[in-house]
């Protein structure tokens, strides 16, 4: 009886392993497959770039939304913004920002875990305003501003939120620039902060049950 039990157990485990192997092969054979898309951008040619947080890749589709290419080897990428032939990517797994050159296919990474300037604790959304790169440094509660070559310029401090909170895609803040002022959306605290330079001018509370509805994609 025990022997039959072990034979059945072995057969079931082998079947499960075989099933996972088939799924894995299917995934490899279909590189356009996505597990958890968290960010999107479009280049000047109309190509669409989808950031897959879990599988650590960016899937590139042409203007007709057909699979074109992919970028692999990213560690929990959470945000992407494209400027010219370069993509600026937040890699939260390594607490760094990477610049990927789409022509040379070379990636350069900047930063590591830490609290001083140029280091990150969960880098999130990235924005380009003028010639400056704004990186939301989520759990250091600040926005770090860099040159296009990722040279540190300054920082904008943000009000803190409860660190036990995990917002959708782990990105709690969004921002937009208008007439020289920076508007920062704080999803957790349900409010908008208005900055002029480093100084917060005002705070607007949002009477909304779902502030995710306020996040919209704005083109360049």
- Measured in residues, the chain has a length of 220
What whole-number percentage of the chain has pLDDT above 90? Answer: 56
Confidence of residue 21 (pLDDT cuts 50, 70, 90): very low
- The listed range with the strongest mean pLDDT (45-54, 173-182, 196-205) is 45-54
- Identify the CA nearest to 149 among candidates 80, 99, 77: 99
- CA distance linking residue 17 with residue 2, whole number of Å: 22
- CA distance linking residue 183 with residue 172, whole number of Å: 14
Token pair for residue 107? 């990636």
**For the segment 85-140, what is each residue's pLDDT rounded down to a tens digit?**
999 999 999 999 999 999 999 999 999 999 999 999 999 999 999 999 999 999 89
- What's the Cα-to-Cα distance from 57 to each of 15, 128, 183, rounded to whole Å? 29, 22, 30
Higher per-residue pLDDT: 89 or 21: 89
Quote the pTM value: 0.79
């Amino acid at each position: 009886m025990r022997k039959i039990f072990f034979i059945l157990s072995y057969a079931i485990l082998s079947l499960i392993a075989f099933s996972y192997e088939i799924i894995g092969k299917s995934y490899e054979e279909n590189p356009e497959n996505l597990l958890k898309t968290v960010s999107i951008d479009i280049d000047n040619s109309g190509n669409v770039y989808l950031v897959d947080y879990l599988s650590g890749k960016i899937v590139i589709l042409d203007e007709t939304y057909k699979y074109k290419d992919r970028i692999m080897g990213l560690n929990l990428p959470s945000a992407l913004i494209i400027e010219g032939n370069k993509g600026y990517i937040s890699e939260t797994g390594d607490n760094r920002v990477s610049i990927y050159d789409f022509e040379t296919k070379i990636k350069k990474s900047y930063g590591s875990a830490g609290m001083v300037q140029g280091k990150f604790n969960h880098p999130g959304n990235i924005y380009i305003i003028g010639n400056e790169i704004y990186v939301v440094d989520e759990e250091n509660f600040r926005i770090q501003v860099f040159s296009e070559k990722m040279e540190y310029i300054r920082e904008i401090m943000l009000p803190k939120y409860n660190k036990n909170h995990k917002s959708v895609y782990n990105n709690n803040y969004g921002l937009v620039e208008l007439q020289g002022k920076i508007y920062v959306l704080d999803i957790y605290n349900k409010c908008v902060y208005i900055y002029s330079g480093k100084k917060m001018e005002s705070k607007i509370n949002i009477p909304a049950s779902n502030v995710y509805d306020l996040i919209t994609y704005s083109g360049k």
